[in-house]
């Protein structure tokens, strides 16, 4: 099997896309922590359930951003292939 | 093994393709400009909003003291948006309710348009970046209006003069992070739906509706709320920093 430079770049792009998605670990932990604290907050003060849920969702959506950067990088590497000449 | 292979990658499965397509191009002062599927989807979304607005206007002309039917719906939408802006911005709410309401409705209908079989316009980075640039211009304008040039420079050089480049990067990162957040959320939904419809096309019966409920309705609504909320928070901060 012959592997030329372009094939190598494509293969490395695929590996890079996989590595970029490791960024999903952080937001996963962060969102879990936020949801856990929100659950305990609802347990302490069930009356404020609506406010707590809204705040939790807003915070989680912001925390998600770093994971989404990883996703965008992976998609660029896989489908736009900027490194392939 | 042969069955599994047929289920997951049948020989005649269509190509995975979730890209934006160019429809036709024209020459704009020496630049080649493409009209893409995003433009068409935006026009469809705008027509939906326009149709609703005209219907609402016609209904509100003969509004009654006790609302009923369609008037209820219109009043509910306006009250919800006004209440959201009021809760986040307090006394500045009146001036910004129009802008926030406009981007809120546009992003919401754009995200929901996946249900109509369109590729959501917000899954095009150009759309979300344009929205974020509008928000960024308003933030910067309000900063200069309420803090004046001296206050803005002081804010950039706090806590110390050498923090200037870091503060500048922090300011420029606002539109980029806002637009990327919305774009990537909607795009991830589009990608997963496309993967299901192309690679699992002979299994994709009825159950992909739940994907649409999650990615188009739930995620779309939350991202709309987050975009509007962040806009309001940043603008409010720019105004309040000038009052001390």
Give the structural domain span for B236: 76-118+130-243
pLDDT in tens, B59-89: 888 888 888 888 899 999 999 999 999 988 8
B32: β partners: B27
Q: Residue B55's pLDDT is what?
A: 93
pTM for this one? 0.87
Instruction: Tell the residue number behind the tokens 């979300």, with chain if given.
Output: B128
The ipTM, to two decimals, is 0.83
CB contact under 8 A, B184 and A62: no
Tell me if B205 is assigned to some domain: yes
For chain B, the domain total comes to: 1
Residue B148 belongs to a domain:
yes
Residue B194 placed within a domain: yes
Tokens of B101: 């309401």
B84 occurs within a structural domain: yes
Strand partners, A74: none
Residue B34 resides in a domain: no
**Residue B232 touches partner A, C-beta closer than 8 Å:** no
Q: What confidence tens digit (pLDDT) does each residue in B20-56 have?
A: 888 888 888 888 888 899 999 999 999 999 999 999 9
In a domain, B232, yes or no: yes
Least confident piece of the model among A16-20, B6-10, B60-64: B6-10
Q: Do B223 and A61 touch (CB under 8 A)?
A: yes
B60 touches chain A (CB under 8 A): no
Q: Is residue B155 part of a domain?
A: yes
End-to-end CA distance of chain B: 71
Which pairs with CB-CB distance under 8 Å and at least 24 residues apart come from B148-153? B148/B242, B151/B241, B151/B242
- Nearest-CA residue of chain A relative to B18? A79
**Between A and B, how many CB-CB pairs are < 8 A?**
34
What count of Cα atoms within 13 Å lies in the side-chain half-sphere of residue B119? 21
Residue B67 lies in a domain: no
Contacts of B188 in chain A (CB under 8 A): 68, 71
Give the torsion through C-alpha atoms of B220, B36, A72, B229, to 10 deg: -40
């Amino acid at each position: 099997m012959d592997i030329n430079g372009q094939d190598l770049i494509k293969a490395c792009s695929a590996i890079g896309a996989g590595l970029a998605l490791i960024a999903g670990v952080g937001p996963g932990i962060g969102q879990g922590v936020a949801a856990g604290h929100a659950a305990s907050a609802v347990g302490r003060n069930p009356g404020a359930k609506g406010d707590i849920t809204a705040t939790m969702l807003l915070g989680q959506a912001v925390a998600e951003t770093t994971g989404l950067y990883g996703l965008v990088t992976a998609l660029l590497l896989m489908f736009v292939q900027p490194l392939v000449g | 093994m042969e069955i599994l292979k047929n289920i997951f990658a049948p020989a005649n499965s269509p190509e995975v393709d979730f890209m934006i397509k160019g429809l036709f191009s024209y020459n704009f002062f020496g630049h080649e400009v493409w009209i893409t599927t995003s433009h068409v989807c935006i026009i469809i979304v705008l027509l939906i909003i326009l149709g609703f607005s005209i219907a609402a206007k016609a209904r509100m002309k003969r509004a009654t003291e006790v609302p009923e039917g369609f008037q209820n719906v219109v009043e509910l939408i306006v009250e919800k948006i006004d209440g959201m802006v009021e809760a986040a911005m307090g006394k500045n709410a009146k001036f910004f309710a129009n802008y926030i309401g406009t981007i809120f409705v546009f992003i919401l209908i754009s995200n929901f348009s996946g249900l109509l079989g369109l590729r959501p316009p917000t899954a095009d980075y150009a759309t979300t970046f344009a929205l974020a640039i509008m928000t960024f211009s308003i933030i910067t304008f309000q900063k200069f209006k309420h803090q004046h040039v001296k206050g803005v420079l002081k804010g950039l050089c706090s806590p110390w003069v050498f923090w200037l480049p870091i503060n500048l990067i922090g300011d420029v990162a606002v539109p980029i992070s806002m637009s990327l957040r919305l774009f990537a959320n909607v795009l991830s939904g589009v990608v997963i739906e496309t993967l299901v419809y192309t690679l699992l096309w002979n299994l994709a019966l009825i159950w992909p509706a739940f994907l649409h409920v999650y990615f188009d309705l739930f995620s779309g609504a939350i991202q709309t709320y987050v975009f509007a909320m962040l806009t309001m928070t940043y603008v409010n901060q720019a105004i309040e920093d000038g009052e001390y």
